[in-house]
Amino acid sequence: MRPVLGLHHITAIAGSAQGNLDFYAGVLGLRLVKRSVNQDDPGTYHLFYADAEGRPGTDLTFFPWEHLAPGRKGVGLTVEVQLAVPQGSLAYWENRLGRYGVPLGAPEVRFGERALPFRDPDGLELALVETAPRPFSPWEKGGVPEKHQIMGLHGARVWEQALGPTGRFLDSLGFSYAGHQDGWHRYALAPGGSGGFLDIKELPQAPRGRWGVGSVHHLAWRVEDLEHQMEVRRMVLSQGIPATRSIDRFWFRSVYFSEPGGVVFELATDGPGFAVDEDPAHLGERLVLPPWLEPRRAQIEAGLPPLELPQPRHERV
């Protein structure tokens, strides 16, 4: 079996859709590359933020379920999303986030990389991590100088009741154990580097986590195409883990399952990509629906709150 290729996207749960857009596009300077709806719950948005091109591995997405209760941090959930920034950028970001009242943690060094933890307006835990250059298309309209822009998903951190079952399962996906620090165990895909690892903390006595506003819904791992996706799916099924069929999400195909510790994983194909139904110069500017939801457009639009793209918030370089 070919191993998975790294993170494709991470999907989390937000409260206010406009507040989410204001923060991720306005404060963090990410590009809204797709404005759509949750295909399993079309009464809510599905907002996709990424680099200028919307390439796999740069994509952080949200379901804004405003009336959902806050999530509960615990085992079986992702507890932090890490975003890659260029080396030497944390001072800029500490200043920028501080100016907008973003709750910041103390800077840390994690596995040799400088990190700045913080929380979004819904309490989602994130960290900016300085890393080496990686494939990335800068977004000139985001208000953040190119030399400091977020380059994509760096990694994720999860809590598990037991390390062993999840670690062995990650081995079968193509990960290798890469070391430990301060209670965190790192698993990385070859050849390592940004976007290709998962950190796990074992907490046998911690309660189960619960989805809600401010929590991560699932981690999606990249596969090249449908054939690769089916290879990995067969491996998952061979371990007695139920997995969905391959679901057409129009911009990629998806298979969902829960790894042994309970974290929901997705296998997402690299293509066809976000430009399949929009001009790349105008991604995210209007509500886009997959063809099977188009007949319901009027009903869907009537139930969604209006959204306005924020004005870029420029800071001195």
* pLDDT score, position 236: 98
The full DSSP string for the chain is -PPP-SEEEEEEEES-HHHHHIIIIIIS--EEEEEEEETTEEEEEEEEEESTT--TTSEEEEEE-TTSPBPB--BTEEEEEEEEEETT-HHHHHHHHHHTT--B---EEETTEEEEEEE-TT--EEEEEEE---S----TTSSS-GGG---EEEEEEEEES-HHHHHHHHHHHTEEEEEEETTEEEEEETT--TTSEEEEEE-TTSPBPB--BTSEEEEEEEESSHHHHHHHHHHHHHTT---PPPEE-SSSEEEEEE-TTS-EEEEEES-S-GGGSS-GGGTTSSB---GGGGGGHHHHHHHSPP--PPPP-----
Portion of the chain with pLDDT greater than 70, in percent? 98
Name the average pLDDT for the chain: 97
Condensed to tens digits (0 to 9), the pLDDT of residues 199-218 reads 999 999 999 999 999 999 99
* pLDDT score, position 311: 82
97 is written with which tokens? 């986030």
User: In the beta sheet, which residues pair with residue 310?
Assistant: none
Condensed to tens digits (0 to 9), the pLDDT of residues 90-132 reads 999 999 999 999 999 999 999 999 999 999 999 999 999 999 9
Condensed to tens digits (0 to 9), the pLDDT of residues 164-201 reads 999 999 999 999 999 999 999 999 999 889 999 999 99
Confidence at 308, pLDDT banded by 50, 70, 90? very high
Confidence at 314, pLDDT banded by 50, 70, 90? low
Q: For residues 67-71, give the mean pLDDT.
A: 97
* pLDDT score, position 295: 97
pTM above 0.95, yes or no: yes
Confidence at 316, pLDDT banded by 50, 70, 90? low
* Direct distance between the N- and C-terminal alpha carbons of the chain, in angstroms, rounded to an integer: 46
Condensed to tens digits (0 to 9), the pLDDT of residues 233-290 reads 999 999 999 999 999 999 999 999 999 999 999 999 999 999 999 999 999 999 999 9
Condensed to tens digits (0 to 9), the pLDDT of residues 27-64 reads 999 999 999 999 999 999 999 999 999 999 999 999 99
For residue 185, the number of C-alpha atoms closer than 13 Å in the C-beta half-sphere is 16
* pLDDT score, position 312: 73
* pLDDT score, position 313: 66
* pLDDT score, position 315: 60
280 is written with which tokens? 């790349």
240 is written with which tokens? 């007695």
